[in-house]
Amino acid sequence: DQQVKQNSPSLSVQEGRISILNCDYTNSMFDYFLWYKKYPAEGPTFLISISSIKDKNEDGRFTVFLNKSAKHLSLHIVPSQPGDSAVYFCAASAVDSWGKLQFGAGTQVVVTP
């Protein structure tokens, strides 16, 4: 049973524009949500996280929004850069099982010049 879902397998965006990646979850016990970026032949790289007590977290060009009632989160990247081309994973965890992340299937982002 997929508890974290990324329904868009791919996203193409022009350099300088905003990239919006979406993620839905089903488990109301999830307390923490994270976004990772992954290049081929490398491990996932942590981007940004958010606790369920917040609805927004910003770090430079990256902002994550959390809507608990809708069980939905999104990652905004502004402005998008060619180096942002990668697969982005949404992940979630409950407070009593922090090391156990549930991952979405990933969204391939391609930033075009």
Partner 1 sequence: KAGVTQTPRYLIKTRGQQVTLSCSPISGHRSVSWYQQTPGQGLQFLFEYFSETQRNKGNFPGRFSGRQFSNSRSEMNVSTLELGDSALYLCASSGLETGPNSPLHFGNGTRLTVT
Q: Where are the beta strands (DSSP E) in 1-113?
A: 4-5, 10-14, 19-25, 32-38, 45-51, 56-59, 62-67, 72-77, 86-93, 102-103, 107-112
Site string for partner 1, 13-42 (x = CB under 8 A): -------------------xxx-x----xx
Does residue 65 belong to the site contacting partner 1 (CB under 8 A)? no
In the complex with partner 1, which residue's Cβ is closer, 15 or 59? 59
Phi and psi at 81, nearest 5°, equal -125, 155
Question: 79 or 94: whose CB is closer to partner 1?
Answer: 94
Minimum Å distance from CB 36 to partner 1?
A: 8
Q: Which of 3, 8, 22, 49 is in the footprint of partner 1 by CB under 8 A?
A: 49
| Cβ atoms of residues 49 and 33 within 8 Å | yes
Q: Which is nearer to partner 1, 81 or 97 (CB)?
A: 97
Phi-psi category of 69—alpha, beta or left, where left has phi over 0 and alpha has psi -120 to 50? alpha
Binding to partner 1 (CB under 8 A) within 66-105 occurs at 89, 91, 95-105
Q: How does DSSP classify residue 82? A: G
Give the interface with partner 1 as residue ranges (CB under 8 A): 32-34, 36, 41-46, 49-51, 89, 91, 95-106
